Amino acid sequence: MLNQRLTQLALHLPEIMHLYAHLFQLGPEASLGPDASSLLHFCNVACEFPDLIRMPQRPGLFQARRRAVDDARCDEPTEWCVLKAYSNDAELLLMRRSVELLQSVQHPWVLPLQAIICDHDAQRWYLQFPWSNGGTLRDWMSRASGTWDRKAVVRKLIATLAYLHSRGFAHRDLKPENVLISEDGQPNMCDFDFTSQQNSESTVLKGVGTDGYRDPAILHDNAPNNTCSDAFALGVICHEIWMGRRPMLPFSARAAAAAYVGAGNPQLHLLRLFPLLERMLALKQQERPSCIKLQLEEFFSGSDSASEQLASSRRFTDMTQRLETLVQHHQSSSNVLLATFSRTMLRVRPCSKSTENAERVMAEQPPQLGLSLQDLLQWAGGLSPAQ
């Protein structure tokens, strides 16, 4: 095996010299690290990967399959994989960032690097990753909520970010397209081209990231693009997962909860999400929770099925129906009731005037409704409704 490796390196000595000469011209920061040589492979990609499919809306990304030959470098020569292409000097520096991180971390939900491929004929470099048959998180977000456990996926994303942050890395380009999902629903974070360590001067770059997920503090406060920016992007993703769209900024938990309930047919247990999103989407970086703290949040514990089971319980459904009936019977007071109900669900103490108005509305309701303000306060306080 050693002789085969030495023979291979000798045959590709010109390409190796060209690589390191090129990296030397780019400066010492372009070094791929001492362990990268074990991942280096040299081939003509067009010949080695005849099944090369460009992935839609993902520039430089290909779904590929190595030709079925007896190749000692590939345990499963017909297995599908993902190739990401790099060509010019700027892209090579991005490749260096990815390799640097992937060499230094090992995590079950970080997409592992399989090989670094040099195509000298095409003057291109490729990073090879395993293929995830489930598609991206964006694909899964279009599915019905009951077909996948959203809390489990987000909980694993939080754990992955917390691990990277503890190692001093920030992703800086987190979005649904950069999370691949396996067939069994396991997320794999990928695309670490813009990753940097927290002591790097490059964290102040403003052009890094994707519109809609980029931290607004970078533009308005000249803040660094760091772990706090990852928390903001994760907040946007959470809003998309449960609300179906990106949030409006600045984000208000009270306004969002009122609009959500007012839209009709709400899942009331999701009102616990809005205060959390308000902190994650705060415009000031210092007001956002770290991903390490997010792991302790009660909302992300358990599973969607458990929350839906609570929401479908007889007592819970009965209370929801009574509330909707009450609003229909008191159109003139529905705004007061809705505001008071939203405040109680958000664990914000309602003002005395609103409470008095809501109690007056409750007192005027038809007796068969049987819903008191105390019922709402008790449920909002976190007590489980009786079955």
pLDDT digits (tens, 9 = 90+) for 236-272: 999 999 999 999 999 999 999 988 988 887 787 888 9
Question: Taking a C-beta distance cutoff of 8 angstroms, is the pair 328, 320 a contact?
Answer: no
Q: How far apart are CA 291 and CA 165, in angstroms?
A: 8
Domains and CATH numbers, the chain: 2-130 (3.30.200.20), 137-304 (1.10.510.10), 314-380 (no CATH)
83 beta partners: 62, 128
User: Both tokens of residue 233?
Assistant: 């992007």
Q: How far apart are CA 375 and CA 310, in angstroms?
A: 16
pLDDT tens-digit profile of 204-244? 455 678 999 999 999 888 888 899 999 999 999 999 999 99
Q: How far apart are CA 109 and CA 106, in angstroms?
A: 9
The closest of 120, 104, 106 to 36, measured between CA atoms, is: 104
Query: At residue 312, does pLDDT exceed 50?
Result: no
**Global confidence as pTM:** 0.71
Query: At residue 283, does pLDDT exceed 70?
Result: yes
The full DSSP string for 181-221 is: E-TTS-EEE---TT-EETT-GGGG-SS-S-TTTS-HHHHHS
Q: How far apart are CA 3 and CA 5, in angstroms?
A: 5
Query: At residue 56, does pLDDT exceed 80?
Result: no
User: Both tokens of residue 205?
Assistant: 């770059």
Q: How confident is the model at residue 25 (pLDDT cuts 50, 70, 90)?
A: very low
Q: How far apart are CA 305 and CA 298, in angstroms?
A: 15
Token match 């989407």: residue?
281
% of residues, the chain, pLDDT over 70: 62
Question: What integer is the mean pLDDT of 344-356?
Answer: 44
pLDDT tens-digit profile of 131-185? 888 889 999 998 876 678 999 999 999 999 999 999 999 999 999 999 999 888 8
Q: Which helix (H) or strand (E) holds 52?
A: strand 51-54
User: Both tokens of residue 380?
Assistant: 């909002």
Q: What is the mean pLDDT of the chain?
A: 74
Q: Which residues contact 116 (CB under 8 A, 6 or more apart)?
A: 32, 36, 39, 40, 41, 99, 125, 126, 127, 128
Question: What integer is the mean pLDDT of 94-123?
Answer: 89
pLDDT value, residue 135 = 86
Nearest 5°: the CA angle 156, 159, 162 is 150
Question: Taking a C-beta distance cutoff of 8 angstroms, is the pair 62, 48 a contact?
Answer: no
Q: How confident is the model at residue 311 (pLDDT cuts 50, 70, 90)?
A: very low
